[in-house]
């Protein structure tokens, strides 16, 4: 990543817990790589294409393209970009999980914005959940564009040294690799940091 650029992974981390971005960029603390993280890296994303081709019928599949926007100072590498006969492009992210999360959708919005910033006509995005063996359509309209731009601003603020206040489900903190830095206050099912 170029200096000062926010990535799709940063967006996903911020949505999981805003302090991750703060710790990474402002304090240069990083989470150790866990077995679950390594498993996600070795998921056979190519096998997903066997399902995608017959159902979506893309003309072309672009694997792991590096995208960036100088004007927004953002960059990222989606799993796949699909080109369709109608002339539009769609992001396809592959997630090795059994649960659809909001951060996955916002990450698709982020990559869709990057495509748009590079002059492509963007259609709906997609997420394929390997654990569920399910494809989820992710609409991308001007509303989603506004939402992801709002998140980009928040991520940049945390990356530039603003420590966000966090109130979230305590279960997120249980196995968090940043817990030793964060030391959240747990009250029932809620964590405050």
Name all domains of the chain by residue range, CATH numbers in brackets.
6-163 (3.90.320.10)
pLDDT at 1: 41
Question: Minimal CA–CA distance to 73: which of 149, 4, 14, 159?
Answer: 4
Q: If 0-12 CB within 10 Å is exposed, 13-18 middle and 19+ buried, where does residue 191 land?
A: buried
* 8-state DSSP, 122: B
- Residue pair 79/113 in contact by the 8 Å Cβ criterion: no
Query: Rounded to 5 degrees, what are φ and ψ at 16?
Result: -70, -50
Predicted confidence at residue 4, as pLDDT, reads 82
Closest by CA position to 25, among listed 164, 125, 176, 131:
164
pLDDT for the residue numbered 2: 57
Averages of pLDDT over runs of 10 residues in the chain (193 residues) are: 82 94 92 63 77 92 97 97 96 88 94 98 96 92 97 96 94 87 90 91
Q: Please give the distance of CA 139 from its chain centroid, rounded to a whole number.
A: 15
State the pLDDT at residue 22.
Answer: 95
Instruction: Provide the pLDDT for residue 38.
Output: 59
């Amino acid at each position: 990543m170029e200096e000062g650029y926010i990535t799709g992974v940063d967006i996903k981390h911020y949505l999981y817990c805003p302090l991750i971005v703060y710790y990474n960029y402002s304090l240069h603390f990083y989470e150790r790589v866990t077995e679950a993280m390594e498993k996600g890296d070795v998921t056979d994303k190519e096998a997903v294409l066997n399902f995608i081709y017959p159902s979506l019928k893309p003309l072309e599949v672009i694997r792991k393209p590096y995208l960036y926007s100088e004007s927004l100072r953002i960059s990222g590498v989606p799993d796949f970009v699909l080109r369709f006969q109608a002339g539009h492009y769609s992001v396809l992210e592959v997630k090795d999980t059994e649960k659809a999360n909001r951060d996955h959708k916002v990450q698709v919005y982020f990559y869709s914005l990057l495509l748009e910033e590079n002059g492509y006509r963007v259609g709906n995005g997609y997420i394929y959940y390997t654990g569920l063996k399910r494809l989820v359509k992710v609409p991308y309209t001007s509303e989603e564009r506004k939402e992801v731009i709002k998140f980009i601003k928040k991520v940049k603020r945390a990356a530039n040294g603003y420590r966000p206040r966090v109130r979230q489900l305590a279960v997120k903190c249980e196995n968090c690799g940043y817990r030793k830095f964060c030391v959240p206050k747990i009250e029932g099912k809620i964590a405050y940091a």
